[in-house]
Amino acid sequence: MIKLLLTTSFPPYRGGISHYLYTIFKEYKFNNELVIITQTPLFTQPEEDLTIFKNIIRSKNLPLEGKLHRFDFYLKILKFYFKNRGKIDYIYTESLIPTTIFSFLYKIFYPKTKIVCFTYGSEVNIYDPYIKRKFRFVNLLKKFLLSRVDRIITISSYTEKILKSITKKDVYIISPRYYGERFEEKEHKKKEKIILISVAQLTPRKGQQYVLKALNSIKDDLDFLYYIVGNGSYRENLEKLIKKYKLDGKVLIKTGLKNSEVYQLYKESDIFVLPVFYHRGDFEGFGIVYLEAGAFKLPVIATGSGGSKDILIDGFNSILVKEKDYKTLKDAILTLSSDNIKREILGENGYKMSFYKKGDTSLLTF
């Protein structure tokens, strides 16, 4: 029989969902039976070993690329269904909409096929007033789909709580895993110039704009370099803030980097900072990047928003600050910049936390 994963995001695309699905199915004992249909084309050579899977069928277009960017993705799913009638025993879906909808098209004709739906964050947040007002029909559809899938997998205790308020079905947690490079030799010494780093999509919710505001308030008191690593639509806004605050040369935006290049920036850095916040119904489902920072023994400055509290403990591996509050962010940056012993302790504890796992892939078959 064939196991099928439907996902818009998969390596070589670098992102939270892509990384999560790859690392989970890398552990899966049936990965040699797994066929993946993804909207991510082979636009660069993947750093991950993809030969462990039976087959990967790729779309021509990246997500959000062109007006009909998903048409080829949908067509490939339908063609695969037709060629493999009655041969698929499990369909794993990356999200409720659109991939779970497509899984039911197959189940109509082959009801014994089991559907396992992965859920991450904002796509299940249907009670927020902003979401309810904007997407009433979509919310009803999501509730319907959640009640009809055979199993729901989520990533954190925070998203589990939301799901349990929506559906009576059992919800299972398989947390994201960190399987990248680790840097055991990191030492936090007293330094004249402190290097900070954020690694995330460039969107308002990730909070890089508040880091810039905090750094602007201490630029005359602290010698620093700040790496903003990631891609996204908010880049232009961040560039405007860099100019407004006269932080040219002190803040560098790095996009399109390979994993190895990101790892090198982690090695150079002293503090990881990412003060995410709840924004228009969207939130941090887990925050695997905090595990990644811990793997390089970096102390973390964050908010503990959403599911990130599963892995961020204030005073243990992080300093947690208020959401959208640049003053407490500024104080945390100054504290860690001047106290290399505290950086060392938080970094060592972050390294231990980078091995965090909850749930296992035995939950994927039943």
Could you tell me the CATH number of the domain that includes residue 132? 3.40.50.2000
Nearest alpha carbon to residue 47 among 215, 263, 232: 263
Strand order in the sheet with 193-199: 251-254, 223-229, 193-199, 271-274, 300-302, 318-320
Number of domains within the chain = 2
Does 309 share its domain with 233?
Answer: yes
* pLDDT single digits (tens) 269-307: 999 999 999 987 788 999 999 999 999 999 999 999 999
Does 330 share its domain with 218?
Answer: yes
Using an 8 Å Cβ cutoff, are 292 and 263 in contact? no
Supply the range of the domain harboring residue 294.
Answer: 193-353
Among 177, 201, 231, residue at a domain's last position: 177
Does 58 share its domain with 135?
Answer: yes
- Terminal-to-terminal C-alpha distance of the chain: 14
Does 132 share its domain with 215?
Answer: no
| Least-confidence region, from 70-74, 126-130, 308-312 | 126-130
Q: Tell whether 359 is covered by a domain.
A: no
Does 268 share its domain with 345?
Answer: yes
Does 203 share its domain with 260?
Answer: yes
Q: Tell whether 109 is covered by a domain.
A: yes
pLDDT of residue 14: 80
Does 99 share its domain with 247?
Answer: no
Cα separation, 357 vs 173, whole angstroms = 10
Q: Tell whether 339 is covered by a domain.
A: yes
Q: Tell whether 304 is covered by a domain.
A: yes
pTM of the model: 0.90
Q: How confident is the model at residue 67 (pLDDT cuts 50, 70, 90)?
A: low
Does 20 share its domain with 58?
Answer: yes
Nearest alpha carbon to residue 76 among 95, 50, 57: 57
Does 126 share its domain with 268?
Answer: no
Does 151 share its domain with 206?
Answer: no
Among 147, 177, 207, residue at a domain's last position: 177
Tokens of residue 65, six digits: 């690329």
Cα separation, 194 vs 116, whole angstroms = 45
Does 154 share its domain with 251?
Answer: no
Does 8 share its domain with 154?
Answer: yes
Cα separation, 108 vs 91, whole angstroms = 13
Q: Tell whether 145 is covered by a domain.
A: yes
As a whole-number percent, the residues of the chain with pLDDT over 70 amount to 95
* pLDDT single digits (tens) 179-189: 889 998 999 99
Q: Tell whether 183 is covered by a domain.
A: no
Q: Tell whether 361 is covered by a domain.
A: no
pLDDT(62) > 90: no
Nearest alpha carbon to residue 18 among 266, 248, 231: 231
* pLDDT single digits (tens) 216-226: 999 999 999 99
Using an 8 Å Cβ cutoff, are 356 and 291 in contact? yes
Among 177, 205, 236, residue at a domain's last position: 177
Tokens of residue 228, six digits: 């903003």
Q: Tell whether 358 is covered by a domain.
A: no
